[in-house]
């Protein structure tokens, strides 16, 4: 009798999945999470893009923040643009840091959340753009170290945003390091 139960188990599993609507392309709704719920975005490879079709939908279903939470030029038309030069990247980072600072100091999670994730994507581009910029070796090394320190700081901020921490306090703890990292980046592109 136990062998019959074992033989039927795969059939029962397949049947249950079919009845539940599993088509193998997505996890069950209870398991699926938005990127905003799972932590900072991992740095994307330069030129990489989502592996799904964007036709016929906007990015609201991807956990994107409302347009007002992003810098003015990043609103609804956001298309995963990645700056092509280090100078352009530093300019974008500077805008995002300002938005995060406002949200953190005001203790408004929704305002800081999406820009923190965008910062994570952009910081992943720093090393490649620094190499393309043909900076002096010591400056390139400092830029890469600054981007890594910024990523670490914004990871802590992201954890606070998704936790119960006082955001203004967390920002206060990380602000000096963020300012120093941004100064290194700005100095590198000012030369």
> pLDDT by residue for the chain (191 residues), tens digit each?
454 444 444 443 333 333 334 444 333 333 333 444 434 443 443 333 333 333 333 333 333 333 334 444 444 444 568 899 999 999 999 999 999 999 999 999 999 999 999 999 999 999 999 999 999 999 999 999 999 999 999 999 999 999 999 999 999 999 999 999 999 999 999 97
Question: Could you read off the pLDDT of 56-106 as tens digits, one per residue?
Answer: 333 333 333 333 344 444 444 445 688 999 999 999 999 999 999 999 999
Q: Which helix (H) or strand (E) holds 4?
A: helix 2-20
List of domains in the chain: 66-191 (1.20.120)
Helix (H, G, I), strand (E, B) or coil at 186: helix
Q: pTM for the complete prediction?
A: 0.60
CA distance 117 to 49: 15
Whole-angstrom CA distances from 1 to 10, 127, 184 are 16, 63, 72
Q: Which helix (H) or strand (E) holds 160?
A: helix 137-161
Dihedral sign for Cα atoms in the order 163, 166, 167, 172: negative
């Amino acid at each position: 009798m136990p062998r019959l139960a074992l033989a039927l188990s795969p059939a029962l599993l397949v049947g249950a999945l079919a009845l539940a609507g599993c088509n193998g392309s997505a996890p069950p709704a209870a398991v699926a999470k938005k990127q905003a719920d799972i932590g900072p975005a991992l740095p994307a490879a330069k030129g990489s893009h989502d592996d799904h079709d964007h036709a016929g939908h906007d990015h609201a279903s991807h956990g994107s923040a409302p347009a007002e939470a992003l810098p003015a030029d990043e609103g609804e038309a956001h298309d995963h643009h990645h700056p092509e030069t280090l100078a352009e990247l530093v300019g974008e980072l500077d805008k995002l840091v300002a938005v995060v600072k406002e949200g953190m100091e005001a203790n408004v999670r929704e305002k800081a959340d999406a820009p923190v994730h965008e910062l994570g994507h952009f910081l992943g581009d720093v090393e490649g753009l620094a190499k393309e910029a043909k900076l002096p070796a010591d400056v390139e090394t400092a830029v890469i170290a600054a981007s890594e320190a910024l990523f670490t700081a914004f990871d802590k901020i992201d954890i606070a945003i998704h936790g119960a921490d006082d955001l203004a306090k967390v920002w206060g703890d990380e602000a000096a390091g963020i300012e120093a990292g941004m100064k290194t980046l700005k100095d590198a592109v000012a030369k």
